[in-house]
A and B are shown apart, each in its own frame.
Chain A
Amino acid sequence: MNTILECKNLNKCFGSKKALSNINLSIPRGRIVGLLGPNGSGKTTFIKLCNELLTPTSGEILIASNRPGVETKKIISYLPENTYLNDWMRVSEIIQFFKDFYSDFSAEKAYDMLNRLNINPNDKLKTMSKGTKEKVQLILVMSREAQLYLLDEPIGGVDPAARDYILNTIINNYNEEATIIISTHLISDIEKVLDDIIFLKDGEVVLAKTVDEIREENGKSVDDLFREVFRC
């Protein structure tokens, strides 16, 4: 089974507002995919549907041939837009928490990454800056041996040097069986590490191609194309 995520005629409405309309996608294993689109284009809605935090109005999402549920949560590592961790906890306590929750979590990997980013595991979350909190969350999510990583705006708040480290971490942890989907606005920063691009606009997929196809066909980077397609 080579497809990790499949959408068939997927629709999601909030009242009369269409958040996603008629999405058909098939994402193979072993890819790093950029989910790109302006604010309000449906990126987070899509990711939430994959995690069963929302349910489709019509159509279907399949993750490794299963509908989102208990089975798919075992194999998805999800970084939400907003934190769900308790502010009063120490990083080491949260690591223990993750270890209890996920059988595929590697505490060793997490401590190693914390160390490299100079984050003290004994610090409490509430004493940390926004950027450091983001790093901690990303480390937790990337320390799982998942089959699908869904990262919703993972690098927005971190400085460029840490951004490079994080992208390196993503390349490093890359495994041929796993797919990583990253939603972001910071295209130029991550373009080089992506295989595929999905452009969302007003809840529709307007483009789904590989980065090199886009560069070949348009003679410009994904970042430049984005600015053109979504010019305000």
Chain B
Amino acid sequence: MSWNFKPDRPIYAQLIEQIELKICSGEYALGVKLPSVRDLAQEAAVNPNTMQKALSKLEEDGLLYTNRTSGRFVTENEQIVKLLKNKITQNQINEFLEKMKSLGLERKEIIHAITNLLKEDEENEHDS
């Protein structure tokens, strides 16, 4: 996954979100060592201080930890990652619901639309 930034919010906040996603998706697996701040900053094409700030916050939240001698690692605690996944899921669904509401859809219609789409998806998978 590459790094993308929206103009309307702080970059460090977006870095945090994108690293969280990488951890949830397993791109950064549990217990794995992260690249150095400089390498990460270069990869994302952001200021190293900004990257440092994002990593510090993730450390505070328990998603990363630093080993003084060997670098920075992803947590080995599955529970923390599970909680994070739940949080992201909820946020995404809430955002989606807000959008549907602004389109004027009722609860029932939303559920109906989702069920239909999922069914279609399943059938497509079956066919292929």
Contact = CB atoms under 8 A, between A and B. Distances in A.
Interface stretch (B43-51, B95-103, B119-127): B43-51
A216 B10 contact: yes
Contact of B50 (A164, A212, A216, A219): A212
Nearest to B44: A192
**Interface of B: prevailing SS:** helix
A194 interface: yes
Contacts of B11: 192, 211-212, 215
A220 B10 CA distance: 9
B33 interface: no
Interface stretch (A13-21, A41-49, A165-173, A198-206): A165-173
Contacts of B44: 192
A186 B13 CA distance: 23
Interface residues of A, number: 23
A195 B45 contact: no
Interface in B38-85: 38, 41-42, 44-50, 53
A37 B13 CA distance: 27
A32 B7 contact: no
Most buried by A among B12, B41, B47, B49: B47
A171 B48 CA distance: 7
A221 interface: yes
Interface of B: 5, 7-13, 38, 41-42, 44-50, 53
5 nearest interchain CB pairs? A221-B7, A212-B10, A215-B10, A192-B46, A193-B47
7 contacts: A32-B49, A194-B47, A195-B49, A211-B10, A212-B11, A216-B10, A221-B7
